[in-house]
C-alpha cells in the first residue's frame, strides 16, 4: 500500500484540483452492468483472497488489496467451465473532478521470465471496462498463469495518480496416488491400473500403512502445500464372493478392517492376528481356505472426498503365503492299532489320485487310468515311506497324452489321444492344501497325494 499512499500525498501537495484513485473490488457482483453477459457470471465456487487471507468473493465491495489471489477449485479453468470473474471499481476523487476517466492495464511483472516469454497476457487475464474511461471494469481469469500479473489503473487527467494490484494464481490439487508399506511385508500398488497386492498374516499385528502423494498443477504463481489438502477418505470391503465364503465359515467373519488416520494417510488393520482371535482350529482353517480360494482381487479400497464423492477404487489380490503355513491341527488319529518299539520302523502307504470331483475311483497310476503315462521317466513315485526318513516326490510331466486305444492306461476303442497338463500336488482333493513335494522325516500315517491335472485337448471313445 506504500505506492498508494505516496501517490495520494503527491497529488494533494502539488495540485489544487486533483484526481485521486481508490480502487475497490466486487467479485462476481454487478451482473446488471452488462446484461448480455450476465449469464456468464455464475455463482462463485472458488476462492479470491487478499494478502491477509480475507475473502474477496463474499458479495461485498472491498478496498483494493496489495495482492489478489485467484484460487479455483480443482479443474475449474481446465474443464470448459466459465472463467473466474471479478468486478473492480475505482473511486475517483474529488467527486467534482472534471475528468474522471481512467485507463486499465495488465502486464506480467517479469515479461522475460521463462514462463511468460512469448505469451500474450490477454490469453490468461483480461480487464474490460464497461465503457471507455469507466471506473468499473471486469477482470476475467481465463486459465492458469505462471507469472505474476500487475493490474494498474491510471487517471487520464493525472498520470501520476495511479494504483496497482498484484494478481496471482494458486496451484491446484488435481489428484493423488497412494503407496503401501507394512513391517516385514512388501505390499504393492500400481496407481495407473489401480491394482496391487496386500497380505494376510494371522501371526502379524502390524497394520498396513496407506500413504498419499498429491498431484498438483504445473502452472501457478503461488504454490499449494500438502497441509492445505484434505486427505481422501478410505473405506475397505471384501469382494462379495469372499464375504460370502468368510461368513459361511463363521457368522460375521468378514470383519470391517479398522482404519486410523495418520499424518499423511491411514493405518489399516487388514487380515491380521485379531481377524481369527477366539476362533477354533476348524474355523481358522476354514477362514484360511476361504481367503485362498478368493484371493484374486479379493480386497477393494474406496477413496472419496470429504463430501462423500467417489474419487477412486483400487482392487487388491491377497497374498496368502503366510496363512497357508498357519493351518491348525484339527484332530489326531492313530492309523495303526499298535506302536512299534525297538529297531523295527513304521512303514506307511502313499496313494496317488487325481484331484477334483470327477477324479473317478482309479488311482493315478493304476492300470486303466488315463494318467498312468504322466510319470517323469526318471521320477520317484514310491508307494510307501518309512517313519524317520524324508521322502521327495517328483512332479508329473508338464504335458502328456493318454495311451489311446488299447493302452493299459485307457480303456476304449476310439482313435487319437487326449492331452493333459500337470499343475501341482495337493494334500486334499479340493486343492486347498498344496504339497511341496517333500514328506518330512517326522511324518506319520498313510498319505494320499492329489494331482491337479488339467485337460488340454479331448477326444471321444
Provide the mean pLDDT of the chain. 81
- Which whole-number Å values give the CA distances from 23 to 186, 246, 396, in the listed order? 60, 68, 88
b (16+ CB within 10 A) / e for 50-86: beeeeebbeeeebebbeebbbbbeeebbeeeeebbbb
Burial of 176 (0-12, 13-18, 19+ CB in 10 A): middle
34 has pLDDT over 80: no
* Spans of all domains in the chain: 2-169, 174-325, 347-457
pLDDT of residue 53: 79
Is residue 293 pLDDT above 60, yes or no?
yes
Is the Cβ–Cβ distance between 354 and 341 less than 8 Å? no
Here the cell at position 287 is 477362514
Element (H, E) at 287: helix 281-293
Residue 441 CA to chain centroid, in angstroms?
47
CATH number of 2-169: 2.60.40.1080
Average pLDDT over residues 91-118: 92
How is residue 226 written as a grid cell?
Answer: 500438502
With H, G, I as helix, E, B as strand and everything else as coil, classify residue 288: helix
Mean pLDDT within 202-211: 95
Share of the chain above pLDDT 90, in %: 44
Look at residue 14 and tell me whether its pLDDT is greater than 50. Answer: no
Q: Which helix (H) or strand (E) holds 13?
A: helix 2-14
Q: Measured over all CA atoms, what is the biggest interatomic distance in the chain, rounded to whole angstroms? A: 127
Residue holding cell 492313530?
Answer: 334
What residue ranges in 336-446 does DSSP mark as E strands?
347-354, 384-386, 391-392, 399-401, 419-426, 434-435, 438-439
Q: What is the pLDDT of residue 201?
A: 96
Residue 31: predicted pLDDT: 24
The residue-averaged pLDDT of 216-230 equals 89
Other Cβ atoms less than 10 A from the Cβ of 274: the count is 12
Instruction: Give the position of cell 510331466.
Output: 397
Three cell numbers written together for 350: 502313499
* Out of 117-126, 203-212, 381-390, least confident range: 381-390
Q: Which residues contact 313 (CB under 8 A, 6 or more apart)?
A: 194, 300, 301, 302, 303
What does the pLDDT look like over 353-389, one tens digit per residue?
988 877 677 888 888 788 888 899 899 999 999 888 8
CB atoms closer than 10 angstroms to residue 314: 21
Q: Residue 110 pLDDT more than 80?
A: yes
Burial class (CB in 10 A: 0-12, 13-18, 19+), 197: middle
**How does pLDDT run across 256-286, given as a tens digit for each residue?**
899 999 988 999 999 999 999 999 999 999 9
Sequence-distant (6+) residues with CB within 8 A of 141 are: 70, 72, 77, 83, 84, 85, 124, 125, 169
- Of 15-19, 43-47, 434-438, least confident by mean pLDDT is 15-19
- C-alpha 52/C-alpha 72 separation (Å) is 18
List the one residue out of 282, 193, 298, 190 whose CA is nearest residue 244.
Answer: 298
**pLDDT band at residue 203 using 50, 70 and 90 as cut-offs:** very high
What's the CA gap between 436 and 399, in Å, rounded? 19
pLDDT band, residue 413 (cuts 50/70/90):
low
Residue 208 has pLDDT above 50, yes or no: yes
CA distance 150 to 165: 6
**How many other C-beta atoms are found inside a 10 Å radius of the C-beta of residue 386?**
13
Selected residue with higher pLDDT from 263 and 76: 263
pLDDT at 337 > cutoff 50: no
Please state the rounded mean pLDDT for residues 84-97: 82
pLDDT category of residue 211 using cuts at 50, 70 and 90: very high
Of 50-64, 94-108, 220-234, 270-284, least confident by mean pLDDT is 50-64
Of 105-114, 351-360, 411-420, 432-441, the range with the lowest mean pLDDT is 411-420
> What mean pLDDT do residues 146-173 have?
92
Task: Write the CB contacts of 160 (distance below 8 Å, at least 6 apart in sequence).
Answer: 7, 10, 11
For residue 136, the model assigns a pLDDT of 85
| pLDDT per position as a tens digit, 238-263 | 999 999 999 999 999 998 899 999 98
Greater confidence (454 vs 56) lies with 454
Q: Is the pLDDT of residue 202 over 80?
A: yes
State the average pLDDT over residues 19-31: 39
Amino acid at each position: 500500500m506504500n505506492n498508494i499512499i505516496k501517490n495520494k500525498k503527491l497529488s494533494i501537495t502539488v495540485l489544487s484540483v486533483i484526481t485521486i484513485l481508490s480502487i475497490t473490488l466486487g467479485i462476481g457482483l454487478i451482473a446488471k452492468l452488462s446484461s448480455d453477459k450476465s449469464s456468464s457470471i455464475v455463482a462463485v465456487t472458488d476462492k479470491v483472497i487478499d494478502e491477509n487471507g480475507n475473502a474477496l468473493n463474499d458479495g461485498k465491495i472491498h478496498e483494493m488489496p496489495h495482492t489478489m489471489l485467484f484460487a479455483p477449485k480443482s479443474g475449474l479453468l481446465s474443464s470448459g467451465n466459465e472463467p473466474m470473474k471479478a468486478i473492480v471499481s475505482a473511486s475517483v476523487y474529488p467527486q467534482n473532478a472534471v475528468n474522471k476517466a481512467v485507463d486499465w492495464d495488465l502486464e506480467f511483472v517479469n515479461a522475460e521470465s521463462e514462463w511468460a516469454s512469448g505469451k500474450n497476457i490477454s490469453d490468461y487475464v483480461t480487464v474490460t471496462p464497461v465503457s471507455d474511461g469507466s471506473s468499473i471494469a471486469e477482470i476475467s481469469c481465463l486459465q492458469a498463469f505462471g507469472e505474476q500479473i500487475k493490474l494498474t489503473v491510471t487517471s487520464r487527467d493525472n498520470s501520476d495518480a495511479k494504483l496497482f494490484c498484484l494478481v496471482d494464481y494458486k496451484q491446484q490439487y488435481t489428484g493423488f496416488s497412494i503407496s503401501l508399506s507394512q513391517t516385514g511385508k512388501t505390499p504393492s500398488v500400481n496407481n495407473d491400473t489401480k491394482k496391487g497386492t496386500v497380505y494376510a498374516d494371522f501371526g502379524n499385528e502390524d497394520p498396513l500403512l496407506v500413504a498419499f502423494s498429491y498431484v498438483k498443477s504445473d502452472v501457478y504463481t503461488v504454490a499449494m502445500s500438502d497441509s492445505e489438502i484434505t486427505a481422501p477418505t478410505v473405506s475397505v470391503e471384501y469382494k462379495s464372493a469372499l464375504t460370502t465364503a468368510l461368513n459361511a465359515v463363521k457368522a460375521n467373519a468378514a470383519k470391517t478392517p479398522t482404519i486410523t488416520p495418520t499424518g499423511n494417510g491411514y493405518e489399516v488393520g487388514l487380515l491380521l492376528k485379531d481377524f481369527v482371535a477366539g476362533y477354533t482350529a476348524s474355523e481358522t482353517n476354514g477362514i484360511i481356505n476361504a481367503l485362498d480360494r478368493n484371493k484374486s482381487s479379493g480386497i477393494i479400497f474406496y477413496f472419496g472426498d470429504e463430501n462423500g464423492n467417489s474419487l477412486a477404487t483400487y482392487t487388491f489380490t491377497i497374498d496368502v503365503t503366510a496363512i497357508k503355513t498357519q493351518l491348525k491341527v484339527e484332530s489326531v488319529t492313530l492309523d495303526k492299532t499298535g506302536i512299534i518299539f525297538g529297531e523295527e520302523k513304521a512303514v506307511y502307504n502313499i496313494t496317488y489320485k487325481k484331484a477334483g470331483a470327477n477324479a473317478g475311483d482309479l488311482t493315478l497310476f493304476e492300470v486303466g487310468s488315463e494318467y498312468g503315462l504322466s510319470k517323469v521317466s526318471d521320477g520317484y513315485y514310491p508307494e510307501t515311506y518309512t517313519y524317520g526318513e524324508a521322502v521327495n516326490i517328483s512332479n508329473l510331466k508338464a504335458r502328456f497324452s493318454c495311451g489311446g486305444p488299447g493302452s493299459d492306461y485307457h480303456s476304449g476303442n476310439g482313435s487319437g489321444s487326449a492331452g493333459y497338463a500337470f499343475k501341482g500336488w495337493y494334500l486334499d482333493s479340493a486343492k486347498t492344501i498344496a504339497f511341496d513335494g517333500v514328506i518330512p522325516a517326522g511324518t506319520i500315517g498313510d498319505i494320499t497325494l492329489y494331482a491337479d491335472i488339467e485337460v488340454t485337448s479331448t477326444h471321444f471313445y
